[in-house]
């Protein structure tokens, strides 16, 4: 298997950064982060309550990675809210 060329451009692609799925991930991440802050909870505490590694929690709240549907429910429970509240009004 041949690897990527040595001069491969690793910078984020503009066309992908503005894709609808990427924007939605970022919006959900902000909702999770805002709720966590409203509760006065640290990111480490959120990670402990969800059982999700802190690095992954960080990636999710920044919108750097997607999340499975079951994790949305786990976040909602840890944040004392509902999945529908975390998604309400998002497009």
Whole-model pTM?
0.77
pLDDT at 59: 94
What average pLDDT is seen over the chain?
A: 85
Structure-model confidence comparison of residues 50 and 20, the more confident one: 50
pLDDT at 17: 53
Categorize the per-residue pLDDT at 16 as very low, low, confident or very high, splitting at 50, 70 and 90: very low
- The runs of H, that is alpha helices, within 9-90 are 14-17, 20-38, 43-50, 54-62, 69-78, 83-87
Structure-model confidence comparison of residues 31 and 16, the more confident one: 31
């Amino acid at each position: 298997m041949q690897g990527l060329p040595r001069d491969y451009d690793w910078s984020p692609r503009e066309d992908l950064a503005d894709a609808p799925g990427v924007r939605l991930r970022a919006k959900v991440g902000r909702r999770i982060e805002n709720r966590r802050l409203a509760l006065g909870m640290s990111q480490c505490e959120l990670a402990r309550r969800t059982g999700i590694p802190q690095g992954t929690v960080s990636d999710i709240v920044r919108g750097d990675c997607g999340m499975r549907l079951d994790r949305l429910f786990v976040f909602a429970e840890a944040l004392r809210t509902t999945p529908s509240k975390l998604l309400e009004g998002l497009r």
